[in-house]
Structure 1
């Protein structure tokens, strides 16, 4: 077959790609054998819609990596068509390009003992085409639609995300599926939801999240290298990860991960998180990738809306004088926990800290002096209970909520406050501390801590009756 004559019959940008056959059944080098005039013109530096690595224009028969970075997704796509003889279609927006790609590939039956062949046709556009985005198989469409319905009808975002992640893990036949949120400006990441298959000895991601994990997540973006996702199907793919990101490779190996599909969650050109599934059914890779490409679009949008509402709530929940959270924020926090809108904590630590001596300062030195004392008290509590939630419940009363913190850690902080408060020359607090290591009812814990605080205040005024409120 005259490949050049054949490809010239296509009007759209089209080339013919070859995949090298290997004796062990695997594939080798992937080459762009020939291109039609429209395809070759795209390599002209002056008119090219996308930037190429090689500035010398198109040369028939070169490896694709002459022009583009090595891309596992591209390789999976052409191997599925050329080697596995499957007609392929994808509609994608790789981060490395400012355009959308509508891609088609058809297998070619060419008698060549050394190579497989396929056509590769691409249409480019600067704007997303919703019709193409939703051009999915029936099974993928059904799964995406189920996700959309659950997201839009949800009254409990966290619970709904748990259901969706369970559905995705089940559909992928994966051992593990997870959504992790990221904030690269604040250098933080957090677990939103995860689902683990029954009988799989998988540790929760939250056991590994610390201040440095955001750097680890950042390295994933470098490994993906401008593509829209990363799919690892076999040991050959793992070797590429080992080359690009050795630390991640070692981590995957130690966790006995044999296959992985990972998508950055993008919203308004920002990465708001990642979703991934491990040890999935690699026989169904094309459908899984097709489903997640659109599903992640909706999940990222809902996450962004959820985070926006949280930020707006935070703006309306700060005590303007002290900078800590206000009573409204505390009530909302407690309500979310009690009603199940937030996950029930494994342990609850509550500290009530009532500022001693505020009234005498207000009476003798004026309210400006009293305000300064409140600000100083709030600063002490923020420094003493770093990593906990600090609220000004009203007047001179502060509440610290410490969820899933070790008892000894909170006890030592409380004892430090008590020791400092024993000296009336210091900023002094009456303190009540209650801890429930079973994660019981937070309202009960708050009542107990409040009662203990009043006992401590009574003892303080018994020691210093001249400071008693009048």
Structure 2
């Protein structure tokens, strides 16, 4: 067959791939048997080496199991294939087309590989999907963009993905590189299977997840569709392979979730319908792109919300949130608390001057930890520089007094925390309750400084 003549009609970068076919349905060597001028020029420009016909494909393109599988499936099925791939290791996007060719060799199949590489994603290329995949992706996008409950909607999306894949289990796992932790964002398990929920494994699972980039080796996903693929996975990643075996996993498709160059986590489906592997791959390639974008936005908004509501030094709620809560109580949109507590640190100014603000910050954090420990179910606020407020509901006056005594005991046992405390119980007017608690706190402070005049200036 005159491959050069065939390729001469292609203006885009194109080459002919050959795949060695075995009787058992597997494949062997994959080669680039011919290339057009655009392909040869590309090899010169980026590989800095002339193209050699009939060379192993790794001489032209990065070795990639998914690419091999695509070539094999194109030839085996006799149908054209298209994929739009994020080459995240190279910061590029690959638009690829595979078209099967006739073969005059019994154990060799051929296909034309036409490709283009760009530094940025092309939405028109990404939209060139089957009608079924495009509809699925659009429905997923509408669900995610139209929700007020992000976590619940993601749970529904994962359930949809599991059903689409015909899998036993599907999960979105987020990874925190800085803290070396994993967290389950959403998961779905078929009711009639014995696969245990990911919550049984998530603690310490980061040690497994951090091996996946190396196992991916630049691929956009990992697809294990049969025992042959599983054996390859066991060789590449023995610990993970053993865990999959122990968990009863026979097949798995795993996609990294990336957005803006950042790895957010992974989505996987196990024991999926291998007859639909190409449809599943195409569907998840697009869906994970959308999911990663939405997760990134959710995490950013969550981070901004934390920054706007949490005091960065102590971890308790900040004054803005406190003022909003008081305004809502006064307006009748939230119930009044049963008790108000003010707790102010004594001697902090002296400590900052004598020992430095690092020591002072340590005391503030210790004070906040004591208040959160004694009132774990209540809102603790940093009302000012060294002043905290706690709004307490569903508590008796005796219980309140017991907990205040516990605060004082824990403060005495600490290194440098010295509290002045004021409380008000049973006053329905929250502003008046705050005023009474504040006055009691200052009375307690005056008593403290009467006993410790050396610490009086703050």
TM-score tier (shorter): 0.7 to 0.9
1:86-139 deviations in whole A, cap 9, x for unaligned? 211111121133332221111112121221111111123233221110111111
Structure 2 partner of 1:302: 294
Aligned to 2:83: 90
User: 1:429–1:196: structure 2 CA closer, same or farther, 3 Å change rule?
Assistant: farther
Give 3-state SS (helix, strand or coil) of 1:303's partner: helix
TM-superposed CA distance for 1:156, in Å, is 0.5
> How far 1:268 moved relative to its partner?
0.8
Among 256, 260, 277, which residue is 1:264 paired with?
A: 256
CA root-mean-square deviation: 4.1
Match of 2:3 in 1: 3
2:222 aligned residue: 230
Residues 1:152 and 2:145 aligned together: yes
Q: Kindly indicate whether the alpha-carbon contact (under 8 Å) linking 1:261 and 1:277 is maintained by their aligned counterparts in 2.
A: yes
Aligned pair partner of 1:250 in 242, 248, 262: 242
Distance 1:329 1:310, change over 3 A: farther
1:258-407 matches, cutoff 5 A: 258-319=250-311, 322-326=314-318, 358=344, 361=346, 376=363, 378-379=365-366, 382=369, 391-392=380-381, 395-397=387-389
Paired residues of 1:420 and 1:428 also in contact (CA < 8 A): no
Moved more, 65-74 or 218-227: 65-74
2:73 equivalent to 1:99: no
Q: How many Å separate the matches in 2 of 1:374 and 1:15?
A: 65
Give CA deviations for 1:323-362 in whole Å, capped at 9, x if unaligned: 53337669999xxxxxxxxxxxxxxxxxx99787x58x48
Contact 1:355 1:377 in 2 (8 A): no
| Conserved? CA contact 1:229–1:263, under 8 Å | yes
- Using the size of structure 1 for normalisation, the TM-score is 0.72
Instruction: Give, in whole Å, the separation in 2 of the partners of 1:173 and 1:274.
Output: 19
Aligned equivalents of 2:224, 2:323: Cα separation in 1: 46
Q: How does 1:7-22 map to 2 (within 5 A)?
A: 7-22=7-22
**Which one has the largest radius of gyration?**
2
- For 2:288 and 2:260, the matched residues in 1 are separated by 13
1:116 aligns with 2:109: yes
**Cα distance between partner residues in 2 of 1:98 and 1:34:** 27
Q: 1:276 to 1:323 in 2, by over 3 A?
A: closer
Distance 1:58 1:353 in 2: 78
The whole-number CA distance in structure 1 between the counterparts of 2:68 and 2:323 is 53
1:184 pairs, out of 155, 177, 200, with 177
Q: For the residues of structure 2 that align with 1:373 and 1:300, how far apart are their CA atoms? A: 41
Q: Which of 208, 215, 238 in structure 2 is aligned with 1:216?
A: 208
SS at match of 1:316: helix
Contact preservation (8 Å) 1:182, 1:190: yes
CA distance in 2, matches of 1:225, 1:204: 28
Displacement of 1:174 in angstroms is 0.8
Distance 1:261 1:424 in 2: 52
**C-alpha deviation, 1:239, in angstroms:** 2.6
Check the 8 A contact 1:324/1:378 in 2, yes or no.
Answer: no
Q: What are structure 1's unaligned runs of at least 5 residues?
A: 334-351, 401-414, 431-460
Which runs of 5 or more structure 2 residues have no equivalent in the other structure?
A: 326-338, 393-404, 421-443, 451-458
TM, length-normalised to structure 2: 0.74
- C-alpha distance in structure 1 between counterparts of 2:340 and 2:418, whole Å: 9
5 Å matches for 1:123-202?
123-202=116-195
1-structure distance, mates of 2:156, 2:190: 13
| Structure 2 residue 74 is matched with structure 1 residue 81 | yes
Residue by residue over 1:429-458, the C-alpha shift from the partner in whole angstroms, topping out at 9 and shown as x without a partner, is 89xxxxxxxxxxxxxxxxxxxxxxxxxxxx
Cα drift, residue 235 of structure 1: 2.1
Q: Using the alignment, how far apart are the partners of 1:101 and 1:255 within structure 2?
A: 35
